[in-house]
Amino acid sequence: MEEREGEVRWDGLCSRDAASRAAALDNIGQAVLRRSETIAPVAAVPLSRAADGPLVPAARDGLSEVLARLLMLSKRCPFPDVREKSEAILSRVQELGIRIPRPLGHGPSRFIPEKETIQVGNEDAMMHALFAESFATLGRLDNVTLVMVFHPQYLESFLKTQHYLLQMDGPLPLHYRHYIGIMAAARHQCSYLVNLHVNDFLHVGGDPKWLNGLENAPQKLQNLGELNKMLAHRPWLITKEHIEQLLKTEENSWSLAELIHAVVLLTHYHSLASFTFGCGISPEIDCEGGHTFRPPSVSNYCICDITNGYHGVDEIHASPTGSIPVSICLIKSTESVCEVEALMEKMKQLQECRDEEEASQEEMATRFEREKRESMFVCSSEDEESAPTRDVSRHFEDTSYGYKDFSRHGMHVPTFRVQDYSWEDHGYSLVNRLYPDVGQLLDEKFHIAYNLTYNTMAMHKDVDTSMLRRAIWNYIHCMFGIRYDDYDYGEINQLLDRSFKVYIKTVVCTPEKTTKRMYDSFWRQFEHSEKVHVNLLLVEARMQAELLYALRAITRYMT
């Protein structure tokens, strides 16, 4: 909170000590009620008044932001005492005649029904430890965490890495780190991440003027704009000359260590934007679009919710009674089961072919070039709207600069051979040398995402999914021109159907265009946790691809 709200302090709530949290809650409750009582006489409006009544009194003196935060704590804090006390404070404010906020939307994801996500308060001991750690570190339990927790082992590694990048000792000052996060997320118009890091940037003492546009930030950060743009959309164009430009600009120059820190942050938030859109992450309860002060209508949602895209029902072509005809459900279910069986059969056949014969190096190279070329023509014909986004373009320049396929207009980009420059043999050691421990953290995260398996596929148990996971990872790298000499790219077309390829390419290259229909249309019989698992592969494969291009350019500059 700002100093003018001095008496409302939130930091004590992050303590693991119940007595410290209780003291902090008492102070917050007293401060909120004191402020509410000064407004209450103005707020003498019946609680049943319609939404078009007088302006919400809570909007005065910053009280609405305080109440929105209490709402978030009542729903999303891992500590039961904080949830209960926050709810009690809100009830007391309501009794004073002040309208309190209510959540919009249905859970942490627009794509996954809330009842199928982990409910705060119902988590097991391991998940609770992760939730408590996240809350203590960030001061919030965000929706990304609530969706990633389908895979606790990965989430633990992700949170540890993100905490190190944002809050531990490192080359860049804290406000620079959050501003770079804003710059990266804004490349994909990801208002969810921009909003979170605007708040964090201000919290660590960042200059609010910088938020009016990149041109208001220091020249040093402005100089990073070109690298941000290329990394997000066309990383294959990065050369050692781009690196030299950043390191040799006199008083605004970057050190090598600072640049490595910035590159890791940029790639982290580009790929996290992919996860945010790929899993349909909802706005945080206390952020714009996450709550409303308007009262619910009789049908439990009002016209303002509909215009904001928060419908009270799933958007489906339903029968007049509001349900999907049973016959259609049965047909779709049968098709989906067949889809799973067919995929498993293909995996079995490919394994048998592998055992029988191995293609020549020339044939493997031809198959890679064919897959790379074909990936250019994988695009969505969707015309439905994706998630509504606020205009965050002011945080970066050249908004027309986006993803472009390799060989458009006759331009040829050489293939990046992993055998010549790989994360394991080159990138890892470079990062660890210039930004100690981060190479190790990233390496652990890459390995967990790549090797994560529960040996299941939809309803089937004891399945070796390594072939499928490798196909997904290598397809993403193929879209970036990255080739593994020992991989047969003919397997990709066997294992990934068109709807899945459309989803992968959209989430990785133009995540802001991802729609619920795309999410629903691939792997229809699979669990939501399996689709989230796919997104973890997309996040890490994309991040590693961007890093490889940037780190190769830095290595070439250094030699």
134-144 residue pLDDT tens: 998 888 999 99
CA angle, residues 66, 71, 73, in degrees to nearest 5: 95
Please state the separation of Cα 332 from the chain's center in Å.
30
Give CA–CA dist 518/535, Å, rounded: 13
pTM: 0.85
Residue 357: which pLDDT band, with cuts at 50, 70 and 90?
A: low
CA-CA distances (angstroms) from residue 449 to 42, 210, 421?
55, 35, 21
The answer to whether the beta carbons of residues 442 and 271 sit under 8 Å apart is no
| Amino acid occupying residue 264 | V
Whether 64 shows a pLDDT value over 80: the answer reads yes
Residues sharing a CB contact under 8 Å with residue 312, sequence separation 6 or more, in sequence order: 299, 300, 301, 305
Average pLDDT over residues 382-392: 49
DSSP 427: I
- CA-nearest of 421, 405, 415 to 364 is 415
Average pLDDT over residues 98-125: 92
- pLDDT value of position 209: 95
CA-CA distances (angstroms) from residue 183 to 213, 269, 272, 419?
10, 9, 13, 32
Residue 37: which pLDDT band, with cuts at 50, 70 and 90?
A: confident
How are beta strands 460-461 and 456-457 bridged, if at all? antiparallel
The DSSP code sequence of 359-405 is --HHHHHHHHHHHHHHHTT------S--------GGGSS-TT-----
The answer to whether the beta carbons of residues 10 and 1 sit under 8 Å apart is yes
pLDDT digits (tens, 9 = 90+) for 269-309: 999 999 999 999 999 999 888 999 887 764 444 433 433 34
Q: At what angle do helices 466-479 and 498-509 cross, to 10 degrees?
A: 50
Residue 360: which pLDDT band, with cuts at 50, 70 and 90?
A: confident
Write out 79-135 in H/E/C secondary structure. CHHHHHHHHHHHHHHHHCCCCCCEECCCCCECCCCHHHCCCCCCCCHHHHHHHHHHH
Residue 307 phi, psi (nearest 5): -65, -25
- CA-nearest of 55, 70, 51 to 285 is 70
How confident is the prediction for the chain on average, in pLDDT?
A: 83
Is 478 a residue of the active site?
no
- pLDDT value of position 181: 97
- pLDDT value of position 412: 61
Whether 325 shows a pLDDT value over 60: the answer reads no
- pLDDT value of position 365: 76
Among 147-151, 175-179, 408-412, name the one with the lowest average pLDDT: 408-412
Whether 330 shows a pLDDT value over 80: the answer reads no
Residue 408: which pLDDT band, with cuts at 50, 70 and 90?
A: low
Among 353-357, 430-434, 449-453, name the one with the lowest average pLDDT: 353-357
Q: Which residue has the tokens 């190190």?
A: 164
Q: Which residue has the higher pLDDT, 16 or 155?
A: 155
Whether 316 shows a pLDDT value over 50: the answer reads no
Q: Which residue has the higher pLDDT, 315 or 222?
A: 222
Catalytic-labelled residue, pool 77, 190, 302, 509: 190
Residue 46: which pLDDT band, with cuts at 50, 70 and 90?
A: very low
Q: Which residue has the higher pLDDT, 399 or 16?
A: 16
Give CA–CA dist 380/500, Å, rounded: 11
Residue 350: which pLDDT band, with cuts at 50, 70 and 90?
A: confident
Residue 35: which pLDDT band, with cuts at 50, 70 and 90?
A: confident
- pLDDT value of position 429: 95
- pLDDT value of position 328: 40
Average pLDDT over residues 108-130: 93
pLDDT digits (tens, 9 = 90+) for 460-490: 899 999 999 999 999 999 999 999 999 999 9
Q: Which residue has the tokens 């020992």?
A: 486
